[in-house]
């Protein structure tokens, strides 16, 4: 096998773990392939708490879009009315470098339709609270202006 054996193993394991999810979710093969590729191409997200499949996938995508500096994709996850482009660009400016490193997501409360999540960026020791939720049967984020806080030692 050529390439990165760790990445190949992670991709295979992740594909197997998503088998049950893909049986119950309405995800096209293309969407699943994009998700698996993104998963393999980014650092693993550390997770605490109890995310639902939808809240976890959404938070992973948020962190990946930040790391990739993809403001359009981040704005597309916005669940509120109005234009999210400028807010997404502010998030990219604030967190893109941090998102390329180790990130931990603390999933608070129960996450069947809405969940509060605290992102912890290891390199800068900053945190950001976000709300992910279902809107029109799809998970997304309430994309407010970034408000980074510094963690205490």
* Residue listed under structure tokens 């693993």: 44
Which burial class, exposed, middle or buried, applies to 108 when counting CB atoms under 10 A from its CB (0-12, 13-18, 19+)?
Answer: middle
Given this model, what pLDDT does residue 24 score?
42
Q: What is the pTM of this model?
A: 0.78
- pLDDT mean by block of 10 residues, the chain; 153 residues: 56 48 56 88 94 95 97 94 89 95 96 94 94 92 88 68
Domain segments of the chain as ranges: 1-41, 44-150
Contact present, 78 and 145 (Cβ < 8 Å): no
**Rounded to an integer, what distance in angstroms lies between the CA atom of residue 19 and that of residue 1?**
23
DSSP 39-66: HHHSPPPEEEE---HHHHHHHHHHHHHH
Contact 143, 87 (CB under 8 A): yes
Q: What is the CATH number of domain 44-150?
A: 3.10.450
């Amino acid at each position: 096998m050529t390439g990165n054996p760790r990445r190949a193993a992670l991709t295979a394991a992740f594909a197997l773990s998503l088998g049950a999810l893909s049986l119950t979710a309405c995800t096209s093969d293309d969407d699943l392939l994009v998700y698996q590729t993104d998963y393999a191409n980014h650092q693993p997200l550390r997770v605490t708490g109890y995310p639902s499949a939808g809240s976890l996938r959404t938070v992973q995508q948020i962190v990946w879009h930040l790391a990739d500096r993809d403001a359009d994709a981040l704005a597309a996850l916005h669940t509120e009315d109005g234009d999210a482009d400028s807010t997404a660009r502010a998030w990219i400016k604030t967190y893109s470098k941090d998102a390329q490193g180790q990130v931990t997501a603390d999933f608070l409360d129960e996450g069947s339709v809405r969940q509060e999540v605290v992102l912890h960026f290891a390199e800068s020791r900053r945190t950001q609270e976000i709300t992910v939720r279902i809107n029109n049967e799809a998970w997304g984020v309430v994309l407010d202006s970034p408000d980074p806080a510094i963690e205490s030692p």
